[in-house]
Amino acid sequence: MGEVDPAFIQDTQHRPKLAVIEAEGIPLIDLSSANASNHVSQIADACKNWGFFQVINHGVPSESRRKIEDAARKFFALPLEEKRKVSRDEVNPLGYFDTEHTKNVRDWKEVFDLVVSSPAFIPASPNPDDKELKELINQWPQYPPDLREVCEEYAREMEKLAVKLLGLISLSLGLPENRFNLLFEESTNFIRLNHYPPCSIPHLALGVGRHKDSGALTFLAQDDVGGLEVKRKPMENGFELSPPQMLISSMNFTLIWLILLILNQVWSNDTYESVEHRVMVNSERERFSIPFVLSPGHHVWVKPLEELTKGEKPKYRAYNWGKFFVTRRRSSFKKLDVENLQISHFKVSE
């Protein structure tokens, strides 16, 4: 990434702590058990008290995960001019990008984005009166030649896991297992390949700044370098959690992180809460991760579910998912003069 650009430097209060405390007791859910009711209670506890958890024996073949990591490493090893042949932009936000911003600070990373179902459709603009839709089509590089095939294979496996976990989360809220299914019939699920190069200023920069993802669920596979930090709900003053690295295997890919996103927070009327998370950088080693983000169709209106607000006031105003998504995406491409859109903007006054 060349000489250090001041755009990478975090404000003092958001700079990483190089000495981190490894978390203990992070929920680890084994999906191989035949006791589904046990899964539901475990997930309910994890969602209420942590906002994230780990899953093992999840059914995603280790070979699929190995192949997508290998392809990602080959792609990011290409010369910059080759990667930029499939660059994303504000017209088509799919493909390669190395100047992404989070909360108006540049991230120390490069990414490759793709939608699971291509073509996909999102609103053409954030304007609420503009009904035009924009078609998103994946861009594929010439090398590695198998990138498309391995990404599509991995996507199919991750969608199976996402459907299973979404059903379990629904049951944990006391809802039918298929309660959310209709909302995802025209989903805008996407996969991101992340590469975090070694960083010369790990005390000043972040791979990804603090944020809450805008979809429903994020499933994160990462290598053995680590760097993910999550703010557990009771910890209001900082990121004190560093997932223990001994649980993560870059060869076996036995573990996947699952992070609740803001849609679950709104749908559950704050019964479950999305947690802020960020990524630290490493001064010596590069890091790779692969998030799969489960997101509904662009037409879906997001609001607290009536079944979960009986006898209490909804805590959020309804908003259109597609418009929310494209508004948030604007800040990925450049630094804005205003705060990016957050769900707190839809919070109903007490």
Q: Is 175 exposed, middle or buried (0-12, 13-18, 19+ CB in 10 A)?
A: middle
**Token pair recorded at residue 74:** 């080959």
Handedness of CA 299, 303, 309, 312 (dihedral sign): negative
Model confidence pLDDT, tens digit, residues 259-302: 766 788 899 999 998 888 899 999 999 999 999 999 999 999 99
Q: String of b and e for 36-56 (b: at least 16 CB within 10 Å)?
A: eeebbebbbebbeebbbbbbe
Query: Is the pTM of the predicted complex or chain greater than 0.85?
Result: yes
How do residues 295-311 score in pLDDT, each as one tens digit? Answer: 999 999 999 999 999 88
- Say what the pLDDT of residue 245 is: 42
CA R_g for the chain: 19
Predicted confidence at residue 301, as pLDDT, reads 93
Tokens linked to 117: 């179902």
Length of the chain: 350
Contact 297, 188 (CB under 8 A): yes
DSSP H/E element including 63: helix 62-76
pLDDT tens for each residue of 29-62: 888 866 666 899 999 999 988 888 888 888 899 8
Helix (H, G, I), strand (E, B) or coil at 194: strand
Mean pLDDT of 170-195: 93
pLDDT tens-place string over residues 105-164: 999 999 999 999 877 899 998 898 999 999 989 999 999 999 999 999 999 999 999 999
Q: Name which of 6-20, 82-96, 227-241, 311-325 the model is least confident about.
A: 227-241
Q: Is the peptide bond before 119 cis (omega within 30 degrees of 0)?
A: yes
